[in-house]
A and B are shown apart, each in its own frame.
Chain A
């Protein structure tokens, strides 16, 4: 295929858009590389870039040094390996659940015509519309009854019941898959489960990837859940730890705050780069045949 002007235009447009979208991030990374003395100046690039902030967040607390006045430096409240581990545990315990439960429910809503389906689906949508602040207290009481306060269970267990957002998302995708494929399989003697497992799930791979990706993002950055349900520092998650780098009285280490944010972004960015291949047509359709 020859290079058409439209393609060149697309490329240029994408370059410009990416630059605009990345600019604020560039500033974030730039501040994270600034040494403490430079943080206050508004210059776009650090004068003497350093990895000190990262070192402080990643190296074990015992290796902390003394400050200029000779006092031991307080270990960082954002110890990345610990927080990342806790967050990963919540993620690993929930991501399979959210994908399986949501896609099963979505399949039911998309493909099976049963009495009361539309009402049930409407209720499902409605649960997204209740603002969380008013649900907090009743849910807190519920989880307390279950003895889950202070544990990570309230953060991952609900995922195994799916989430309205993902059910809705997958329902829309399933509804877009031609019903003929399914009917053919049913005639071949497949039951609903094998249709779902062998046809729907592989066909909806891009959508499932999106669900897994967005769930990861949610777990990674959720502040409210951990804030309410976690009480012990050894269980704290990344988003919660980030709160502790903000001081109310003028000690906020801006460079460390930005370094922590960059550290939070990196793993999900890598995940995205790997996952985005699902959105390349060749692979998506080869999945269809296999």
Chain B
């Protein structure tokens, strides 16, 4: 090789070797004599800061007294990572999961039931709002503990309300009224470019349930008509509330012209951005969680909006979608007792509320401490917190086959919204498909039971 070639190679290799030789070496210092509790969690950035502070405090106080050290590790895809490690026989001692995995994992006997240990540690179930522990239960047993709970609410643009002649302090009270509002809030570009089908272009849409623009709760709508997708044995979408919900969604869309709505929805973009249609002032109402306030502050600080419960079909009922991140202890965890020691520390009201305040979520407790609301970053937190007290709160359908049912309802919702077939047909087909999935799972489960 020529000299210049050597020189060039040196330019690249020398810094690399220098970095390897002298570069930073991260390390976790664990004091000797402590039982190490492995804790996998999804939080990084600011959310990571909140939990790390709590873990550090535990390690310095209770942990020191009892000889326990919690080793916090932030990982992506905690659920999949935990699945693989569980299959491999060395799961973490604590994992932070999303609530929707609980029934599936509990049904496969992968989680430790916590009722007994909870009583042992004197954790008072009555101190929590009932919904948050309900979400953590499966077939009567507690398999998880709530970490950061939230409800989903209606965000509406007050300026749009005013412009449409609606009272900005009076959000819609029923689903029927909601449709009237949404129609009034929809504006077209008069005399502008027509869509491919010759419709006027929508410049401001009242509401959209489009899964691509909102979130992962596309399946929620029957809930506002009193429907619950899972009764513990069977899936229900082709019933009175299910059909009513999808008819209701399509009624609004057809009144303003579904083709134009589909065209509008196709413009979806990075939902966490200034181009989000609600934040950009092109969408009047949206069904979102507490983090949406944060996005609004960040991307549209001048937006004049308010937060209210999403209306139900029956004005006397208040159906609310509640969801929650949870802590679980895998059944084959090496140190379940020590893990529970940390979880019971976390379950004390000041600690858990500190975590939720930092995360901008609601309090899982029946009566939040005054300190919880003070300094809470979300100005609308009381609305979200109040929603969780409704007697008609509901969480994810607690079916072990929810992953597949979720996908099927997603396809169904997308197809319905595209308006190809009447909602009743879509709903009926989705029911049959999910029934088949459930039947298949039950067969396999029965076989499993027979073997044991």
Q: Within the complex, are A and B direct neighbours (CB within 8 Å)? A: yes
**Known A74-B45, A141-B88, A251-B294: A244·B74 in contact at CB below 8 Å:** yes
**Known A144-B89, A144-B90, A250-B272: A85·B20 in contact at CB below 8 Å:** yes
**How far apart are the CA atoms of A121 and B87 in the complex, in Å?**
32
CB contact list, A270-290 vs B, under 8 A: 270-271, 274, 277
Complex interface: stretch among A108-116, A157-165, A224-232: A224-232
- Please indicate the chain B residues that have their CB under 8 angstroms from the CB of A249 in the complex: 47, 291, 294, 359-360
A18 within 8 A of B: no
**Known A81-B19, A82-B23: A250·B274 in contact at CB below 8 Å:** no
**How far apart are the CA atoms of A141 and B298 in the complex, in Å?**
45
- Please indicate the chain B residues that have their CB under 8 angstroms from the CB of A250 in the complex: 272, 291-292, 294-295, 298
- Please indicate the chain A residues that have their CB under 8 angstroms from the CB of B26 in the complex: 79, 82, 233-234
A140 within 8 A of B: yes
**Known A85-B20, A250-B291: A227·B77 in contact at CB below 8 Å:** yes
Contact of A137 among B12, B45, B88, B298 (CB under 8 A): B88
**How far apart are the CA atoms of A60 and B81 in the complex, in Å?**
29
B25 within 8 A of A: yes
A40 within 8 A of B: yes
Residues of chain B at interface, number, CB under 8 A = 47
* Contact between chains at A244 and B28 (CB < 8 Å): no
- Number of residue pairs A-B, CB distance < 8 angstroms: 113
**How far apart are the CA atoms of A42 and B359 in the complex, in Å?**
28
- Please indicate the chain B residues that have their CB under 8 angstroms from the CB of A82 in the complex: 23-26
* Contact between chains at B24 and A60 (CB < 8 Å): yes
B49 within 8 A of A: yes
Give 10 closest A-B pairs by Cβ, nearest first: A234-B26, A85-B23, A74-B49, A40-B274, A243-B76, A244-B44, A249-B291, A77-B44, A140-B88, A40-B299
- Please indicate the chain B residues that have their CB under 8 angstroms from the CB of A227 in the complex: 75-77, 81
A199 within 8 A of B: no
**In whole Å, how far is B250's beta carbon from the nearest beta carbon of chain A?**
31
**In whole Å, how far is B10's beta carbon from the nearest beta carbon of chain A?**
10
Contact of A232 among B49, B73, B294 (CB under 8 A): B73
* Contact between chains at A88 and B291 (CB < 8 Å): no
- Please indicate the chain B residues that have their CB under 8 angstroms from the CB of A81 in the complex: 19, 23-24
**How far apart are the CA atoms of A116 and B16 in the complex, in Å?**
43
- Please indicate the chain B residues that have their CB under 8 angstroms from the CB of A247 in the complex: 44-47
* Contact between chains at B84 and A74 (CB < 8 Å): no
Main secondary structure of the interface of A (DSSP, over half): helix
**In whole Å, how far is B141's beta carbon from the nearest beta carbon of chain A?**
27
**Known A250-B298, A270-B12: A88·B47 in contact at CB below 8 Å:** no
- Return the CB mask of A43-77 against B: 1 if under 8 Å, else 0: 00000000000000000100000000000001001
A2 within 8 A of B: no
- Please indicate the chain B residues that have their CB under 8 angstroms from the CB of A85 in the complex: 19-20, 23-25
- A-B contacts besides A140-B88, A249-B291, A267-B12, 4 pairs, CB < 8 Å: A88-B16, A89-B20, A92-B20, A234-B28
- Please indicate the chain A residues that have their CB under 8 angstroms from the CB of B84 in the complex: 136-137, 140, 228
Contact of B88 among A144, A243, A244 (CB under 8 A): A144
* Contact between chains at A74 and B48 (CB < 8 Å): yes
- Return the CB mask of A231-255 against B: 1 if under 8 Å, else 0: 1111000001001110111111100
CB pairs A–B below 8 angstroms (10 shown): A77-B45, A81-B19, A84-B19, A85-B24, A137-B84, A232-B73, A234-B26, A248-B42, A249-B291, A250-B294
Contact of B46 among A40, A74, A232, A271 (CB under 8 A): A74
Residue on A nearest B377 in the bound complex, by CB:
A69
Residue on B nearest A290 in the bound complex, by CB:
B1
* Contact between chains at B274 and A41 (CB < 8 Å): yes
Residue on B nearest A91 in the bound complex, by CB:
B16
Residue on A nearest B272 in the bound complex, by CB:
A250
- Please indicate the chain B residues that have their CB under 8 angstroms from the CB of A243 in the complex: 76
- Please indicate the chain A residues that have their CB under 8 angstroms from the CB of B89 in the complex: 141, 144
**How far apart are the CA atoms of A179 and B294 in the complex, in Å?**
68
B407 within 8 A of A: no
**Known A228-B81, A234-B28, A271-B12: A40·B45 in contact at CB below 8 Å:** no
